[in-house]
């Protein structure tokens, strides 16, 4: 994969993650416009009556699992079923799809859940592991039996696979964390005796 293809892959990663960040934004919730207290000090609240913006752990898992699987499967199909007789013409496209599946695929569920920091942490961790594996593999190819990078390459490959599985498996947890934060504190506009104000709701 040349520099242009690597840049294209990274651009696809960023665009996919940005789209998932938008998908993870809060959705409007129904409001309670009932008045409380006496007429003179009545408070009309706009605090949500239900947690309509909650994220589904199952959906978060499916985002991560399917994004990784679909992109990875597409990379495999492109790499083996297109191009010339030796499939060399499709190597760059397949590699770009594979890199995107490895980096961005497992993170999509975390972006959906609104846990962007957790998603970017996973992407960063897999990037470091991937760079280490690539460096070890290049050294192994260049030096052949004269180096001892084979065990390191296998360890890094296993670490990369483990990082992918971990991000997919913990996507539902990101959704639960987001929902718990949403339940603990709600903030919204309110009318106090006809004057605008803000009402804060805390759940314990």
What pLDDT, on the 0 to 100 scale, is given for residue 168? Answer: 97
Predicted TM-score (pTM) of this structure: 0.67
As beta bridge partners, residue 202 has 185
pLDDT at 198: 56
Region 161-175: what's the mean pLDDT?
Answer: 97
CATH, residue 80? 1.20.1420
What does the pLDDT look like over 43-55, one tens digit per residue? 444 444 445 578 9
pLDDT for the residue 124 = 97
User: Is 155 inside any structural domain?
Assistant: yes
Place of tokens 């706009």: 46
Q: Is the pLDDT of residue 193 over 60?
A: no
pLDDT in tens, 76-99: 888 887 655 555 667 888 889 999
The answer to whether residue 118 scores a pLDDT higher than 90 is yes
Cα separation, 52 vs 128, in Å, equals: 38
Question: Is 190 contained in some domain?
Answer: no
Nearest to 68 by CA among 28, 108, 36: 108
Is residue 105 assigned to a domain?
A: yes
Domain-embedded: residue 174: yes
The boundaries of the domain holding residue 63 are 3-29+53-184
Tokens of 189: 């506009």
d(CA 25, CA 14): 17
Residue 66 lies in a domain: yes
User: Rounded CA gap, 93 and 101, in Å?
Assistant: 12
Q: Is residue 169 part of a domain?
A: yes
Let me know if residue 191 belongs to a domain.
Answer: no
């Amino acid at each position: 994969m040349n520099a242009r293809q690597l840049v294209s892959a990274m651009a696809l990663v960023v665009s996919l993650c940005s789209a998932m960040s938008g998908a993870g934004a809060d959705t409007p919730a129904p409001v309670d416009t009932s008045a409380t207290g006496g007429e003179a000090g009545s408070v009309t609240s706009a605090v949500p009556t239900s947690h309509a913006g909650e994220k589904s752990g199952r959906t978060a898992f499916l985002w991560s699992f399917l994004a990784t699987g679909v992109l990875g499967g597409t990379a495999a199909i492109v790499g083996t079923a297109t191009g010339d007789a030796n499939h060399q013409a499709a190597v760059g496209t397949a590699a770009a799809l594979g890199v995107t599946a490895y980096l961005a695929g497992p993170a999509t569920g975390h972006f959906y859940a609104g846990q962007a920091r957790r998603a970017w942490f996973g992407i960063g961790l897999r990037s470091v592991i991937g760079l280490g594996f690539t460096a070890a593999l290049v050294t192994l190819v260049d030096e052949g039996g004269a180096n001892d990078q084979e065990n390191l390459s296998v360890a890094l490959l296993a670490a990369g696979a483990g990082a992918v599985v971990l991000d997919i498996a913990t996507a539902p947890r990101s959704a639960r964390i987001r929902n718990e934060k949403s339940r603990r504190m709600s903030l919204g506009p309110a009318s106090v005796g006809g004057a605008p104000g803000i009402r804060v709701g805390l759940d314990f």
